[in-house]
Amino acid sequence: MENLKLEMHDELMSILNYWTENTVDEKHGGFIGTIDHSENKDYNADKGSVLNARILWAFSAAYPVTKNEKHLQLAQRAYDYIATYFYDNENGGIFWSVDHLGNPKDTKNQIYALAFVIYGLSEFYAVSKNVEALALAKKLYEQIELNSYDGGNGGYLEAFTRDWQPIDDLRLSDKDANEKKTMNTHLHIVEAYANLYKVWPDKELKDIIKELLYTINEYFINAETGHLRLFFSEDWIEKPDVISYGHDIEAAWLLQWCAEVIHDESLIDIYKKHAVTMADATFEGLDEDGGLWYEFDPEENKLIAEKHWWPQSEFWIGMVNAWQITGDAKYLKAVEKNWEFVQQYILDKVNGEWIWGINADYSKIEKDKAGFWKCPYHNSRACLELMRRL
């Protein structure tokens, strides 16, 4: 365990070093929109709000551990860019993307993106005490409650136009079902709200987090299988989809953490049970080499035979959490084997950071090194969590 903890510290520093050295956009401000798998920097690429929010979170969360002033400066840079270019002063939302010059590009209000900005702003406020950052986090929280909360059925609606009108295409990405309520967005709203609660312990916010956790327990978790239900209509009719091993193991520990943040003993008990059930279910997606497969399609009885970078990160935290609850060493052994897999196949030992992932034949998946979805949030958080927990 001591070795693993030291290795996590070294890996955290390596990840942060990559983002420090390679991703700052000196031409147009903020951070570069895309770096491809061959390390080519596209200074003219659009910039995503989710990536920038995650950069903000990662450098803010790391700073108390690294004590590196450069990391705090990069968090400040991310905050300044978000507040200046991604925040829609007119309508009080967050642009999904801006162009390389900071002009609004895709202006829809994807609630997932607002949640991640709240998550990043809360973390930044914790280390900077920047009151404007906290004020912006509260504004976005109020917008979600005003526009996205479904007062009739409970839960939250997925997306809106720039001026908060209904929108036809609700999807986060092309592979998602076009449904009004999703597990992914609910998971990250409650994560964001819990992080906000840590720096702003408001009673109403606490009550909303409780309601969210009960909603997730009721609809999104299949307690029998230990897997998540991913997509629902507005009135909670499920649209069956894939099993997402990465989301299963991420939710396993993250929802328990949210319950712990608000100190609700009954919810902590519920989510500790889920944490172990879901960790056990995740073993279904584990390959002999220790790597976690991406997804499984039950309808076609078919594995999506790729091992992406981010599920490996969440696997570490979810399994260490299950070990902490049960004391069963099998969970810790699974982490050690997965870390060996990551070191062998996912770490980019030449350029730094992690590649997108590998195919079943161990060939590299040639996707972004940095981009809309390739960020320093999952893997830096895994390092920080293991350093804290071990």
Confidence of residue 11 (pLDDT cuts 50, 70, 90): very high
**What's residue 130's pLDDT?**
98
- Tokens standing for residue 301: 């009885």
Contacts 24+ apart (CB under 8 A), 113-116: 113/49, 113/50, 113/53, 114/140, 114/143, 114/144, 115/144, 115/185, 115/188, 115/189, 115/191, 115/192, 116/49, 116/50, 116/53, 116/54, 116/57, 116/188, 116/192
State yes or no: pLDDT of 140 exceeds 90: yes
- Tokens standing for residue 67: 């004590």
Residues 217 and 229: beta-carbon distance below 8 Å? no
Confidence of residue 127 (pLDDT cuts 50, 70, 90): very high
CA 185 to each of CA 149, 232, 251, 284: distance values in angstroms, whole numbers, following the listed order: 12, 12, 12, 24
State the chain's mean pLDDT as an integer: 98
The stretch 1-30 carries a mean pLDDT of: 97
Residue boundaries of the structural domains of the chain: 2-389
**What's residue 188's pLDDT?**
98
CATH class of the structural domain 2-389: mainly alpha
State yes or no: pLDDT of 1 exceeds 90: no
pTM: 0.98
The stretch 183-198 carries a mean pLDDT of: 98
pLDDT digit string, tens, across residues 38-69: 999 999 999 999 999 999 999 999 999 999 99
